[in-house]
Structure 1
Amino acid sequence: MASRQQSDIDKLEKHLMGKPNNFLSRGEVESVWTNLKERIRHTNGNVGSAFADLENAVELQFKKSFLEKRKKKYSTLKKSIIAACSENKSTEEARGKQLTQAQETSPAALSNLSDNQENKTPSRQSRGPFGEQETHPKPSTSGYGFSPRNDKQPSGDVRKCEGIIQTLQDKLDQQRTENEINRQELKDEIKILKQEKDQLMTRLSKMAGDKLTHNNPGIADLSDPNRPQKLAEKYGELYDNEWTDAIEKLNSKTDDKEQRRCIDVLADILEFCYRESERVAESQLTQLQNDCFTLPPTGKQKGVIQDAPDSARRHLLEAQYSASRFTMKAAVDIVTKSLHKQRKSKGTAKKIPRFTAKCIEICWSMVTNQPRMVFLWPDKKKTSKIDTSMFDLYTRSGDILDFVVWPAMLSCMDGPLLRKGTVQPVAKQAT
């Protein structure tokens, strides 16, 4: 197929080279044909597109040649008119001088000169700009006039040339205006497409980031003060500082039995704060879901609650976490009131408000985090073996659990360890 197409092109080239058209010379045909073959090769054999370019080039060359011929003819005509005007002006000046001299000699001579001048027949002829014989008109005393017959022909050609030039100029101006409008429209379209591309890239990046970080505790925002690693540091400071101060305040006599009771009470307070914070967070999330997916009632018909899709629920969890820093104080007040109503630690919690407030703050940040952070409590059976990878020993060494001093912190359920807990092993019997 390609060889047949090349053969047809070669035949056409031979025909054009042997018989150039009226609009392009042989050299111009060779130049255009060379460009045509170059375009065919660049467009992978797209002959239609290449021939369309050749047609445009021929049409452009025709318009250019036509305009140049018209301009040349107009220039020749203009020069002929100027030359004729100059010659007639000289003739009129000479005739004026003769009339002046005749007036100075005698009225009879003036009359004879006028009669002779009127009986003269113009015999001078010249070749016009279009090749026809042109007779110069007799000058008149009123100016550089021509006879009506000879004056109309050059004026009509001039007006025709000027009309053609003006028409081409108008078309050129119109084309320039259209090109400018098209260029501006393309610029606006490119700007809109760039904005849409940037928006789509931003959305895609956010979606990819959300998908990567959702329920993935290994990836955290380093600018977030409540990210899991920071909470683990605060949890360690709570045990080292507030927990120690609370033990000293509750067990001022350093009694061993009383200290064991205080340790259990502090662990119970921490566990209650976490469970209560979890309950408040679930209640808040339910309220957010109802507010977002409940249609308003119409007349006597009650509002309809729509089920929230998983993607919407994820956004609600993100909104809850983002607002957790602003709802922290309210959460502390709610959990503190619930803690004071509990009989088991009612009196003790009031004595150590700093410890309880710190516990609630950490627990509230844990339950609103995504994924939710948890405490690890060891099995409290007396025969449980201590996992030293999760818990440090308190004051004794051993392998069997006696009681829990402080739970460990995990990044999520069954997730990696963030902070070790503390347990007290059973004392080894002396042998």
Structure 2
Amino acid sequence: MRRLIKIPLISELPLAINLRMDFGDKSKVMEVLNRAFAGSVVDKRIAAAAIREFEGILEDLYTRPPQWEMVTMKREEVDKMREIIKYQDKKIKDITERVNRMSHGDQPEHPLPTDKDREDTNRRLYLADSFRDIYDKEWRAALRELTSIYRWRPQEAVYALMRVIRNACDLCINIAEDQLDKLLLGMEEAMVDPINGGNGGKMKNLFKDHMNVYSDGMKIAEKYAVQYRNDRAEIAVPAVLELFMESKLKMIIDPVKLKRDLKAYITKVVELVWLMTSLHPPMRLYWQLQTERVNTDFFDFYDRKGDFVNQTVWPAVFMHNTGKMIYKGQTVAM
């Protein structure tokens, strides 16, 4: 299947010119120019062929006197046309790269319903934007603090900041799974035993006798539990942050030595990771492990280029586990 590209109007180009050339009715150049003036879609192959044809004509103009019955152009107009061709060629390459990235296979063959739900999608994009802002602000401030006040080497500091994200993901995934189980079980217990639901340990025997009721009820309960948690996830942030400080932080740094910028970074990371994880299905943060081949579809290089990962600096963000990528991550190459 041919890929189509949009040729911008001549008025949109940086150096618009007026030219009169008798290329002939079947000329590729004339075909592209006619469509460009109309703002139409042009096949990439035709556009590339037209560019090559026009470059050949321009080369003739520089090597032999122009035939005035064929062309009426000044030398400076030829130079301007070269600039337009360069501009157009770059635009074609940029569009082609974007199309290739979109069709690389990072979207699911059968997208989950959340991909089509505008409200849910907007929420995910908002959280992804907020998470990216952490990298631009709190991450950089925490990195400066670790290297200047703590006297850590830059590589150690980058590694520690990424460990905060990885540990936050592990913690939040476990909490989110347990929380949803508790919500579902609580709703179902209250329905099966409205008098003593959740008390006295009587539910196990009831569920053994009525497993079909329990199973069907859980499916209904899940729908409402998921929506309830999506709407109320923010209120759990303080408890999740407290648990992170108590159980995860000591593996990264001594909590007693925690200073302002690093604390602000940890607080923002845990909050956003929790909000992304508590969605259903959860958003995905993806990082590569050391010695893996760098996936340039999902990561940009933090400083130097290379074939293999030294360490992930910032994770790539996906709509969900089988959804499209929202933002690329950063990686340090070997």
TM-score by length of 2: 0.56
Q: What are the residue-to-residue correspondences of 1:183-194 with 2, within 5 Å?
A: none
Report the RMSD for the aligned CA atoms in angstroms. 3.0
Identity of aligned pairs, percent? 20
Residue 280 (structure 2) aligns with = 370
1:353 partnered with 2:263: yes
The Cα of 1:253 is off from its aligned counterpart by: 7.2
1:329-353 CA distances to partner (integer Å, 9 max, x unpaired)? 333233333234x334344883321
Which amino acid counterpart does residue 246 of structure 1 have in structure 2? Answer: A
Structure 1 pair 411–301 and aligned structure 2 pair: CA distance change class (3 A): closer
1:291 partnered with 2:201: no
SS at match of 2:133: helix
Unaligned runs of 5+ in 1: 1-212, 427-431
The Cα of 1:260 is off from its aligned counterpart by: 0.7
Alignment partner of 2:235 out of 315, 320, 326 = 326
Alignment partner of 1:302 out of 196, 202, 227 = 202
The Cα of 1:388 is off from its aligned counterpart by: 1.5
The Cα of 1:372 is off from its aligned counterpart by: 0.8
Residue 143 (structure 2) aligns with = 247
Q: Would you say the 8 A contact 2:283–2:318 is kept in 1?
A: yes
Alignment partner of 1:221 out of 116, 119, 123 = 119
Residue 174 (structure 2) aligns with = 279
CA distance in 1 between partners of 2:175 and 2:302 (Å): 33
1:77-96 CA distances to partner (integer Å, 9 max, x unpaired)? xxxxxxxxxxxxxxxxxxxx
CA distance in 2 between partners of 1:229 and 1:214 (Å): 16
Q: Would you say the 8 A contact 1:349–1:356 is kept in 2?
A: no
CA distance in 1 between partners of 2:135 and 2:254 (Å): 21
Structure 1 pair 333–301 and aligned structure 2 pair: CA distance change class (3 A): closer
Unaligned runs of 5+ in 2: 1-110, 208-213
The Cα of 1:386 is off from its aligned counterpart by: 1.4
Residue 417 (structure 1) aligns with = 325
Residue 50 (structure 2) aligns with = none
CA distance in 2 between partners of 1:254 and 1:333 (Å): 23
Q: Would you say the 8 A contact 1:406–1:423 is kept in 2?
A: yes
1:237 partnered with 2:237: no
1:217-237 CA distances to partner (integer Å, 9 max, x unpaired)? 34331896xx11111111111
Alignment partner of 1:403 out of 311, 314, 324 = 311
Which amino acid counterpart does residue 262 of structure 1 have in structure 2? Answer: A
CA distance in 1 between partners of 2:158 and 2:200 (Å): 57
Aligned residues: 209
Structure 1 pair 398–214 and aligned structure 2 pair: CA distance change class (3 A): closer
Q: What are the residue-to-residue correspondences of 1:131-170 with 2, within 5 Å?
A: none
CA distance in 1 between partners of 2:120 and 2:231 (Å): 15
SS at match of 1:327: helix
CA distance in 1 between partners of 2:328 and 2:258 (Å): 28
1:261 partnered with 2:156: yes
Residue 56 (structure 2) aligns with = none
TM-score by length of 1: 0.44
Residue 173 (structure 1) aligns with = none
Residue 315 (structure 1) aligns with = 224
The Cα of 1:284 is off from its aligned counterpart by: 1.5
Which amino acid counterpart does residue 216 of structure 1 have in structure 2? Answer: T
The Cα of 1:397 is off from its aligned counterpart by: 2.0
1:16-57 CA distances to partner (integer Å, 9 max, x unpaired)? xxxxxxxxxxxxxxxxxxxxxxxxxxxxxxxxxxxxxxxxxx
Structure 1 pair 218–402 and aligned structure 2 pair: CA distance change class (3 A): farther
1:172-220 CA distances to partner (integer Å, 9 max, x unpaired)? xxxxxxxxxxxxxxxxxxxxxxxxxxxxxxxxxxxxxxxxx96423433
Structure 1 pair 220–237 and aligned structure 2 pair: CA distance change class (3 A): same
Structure 1 pair 258–302 and aligned structure 2 pair: CA distance change class (3 A): same
Q: Which has the higher contact order (CA 8 A, sep 6+)?
A: 2
Structure 1 pair 220–326 and aligned structure 2 pair: CA distance change class (3 A): farther
CA distance in 2 between partners of 1:268 and 1:300 (Å): 42
SS at match of 1:228: helix
CA distance in 1 between partners of 2:196 and 2:150 (Å): 63
The Cα of 1:371 is off from its aligned counterpart by: 1.8
SS at match of 1:310: helix
Q: Would you say the 8 A contact 2:147–2:154 is kept in 1?
A: yes
CA distance in 2 between partners of 1:349 and 1:284 (Å): 32
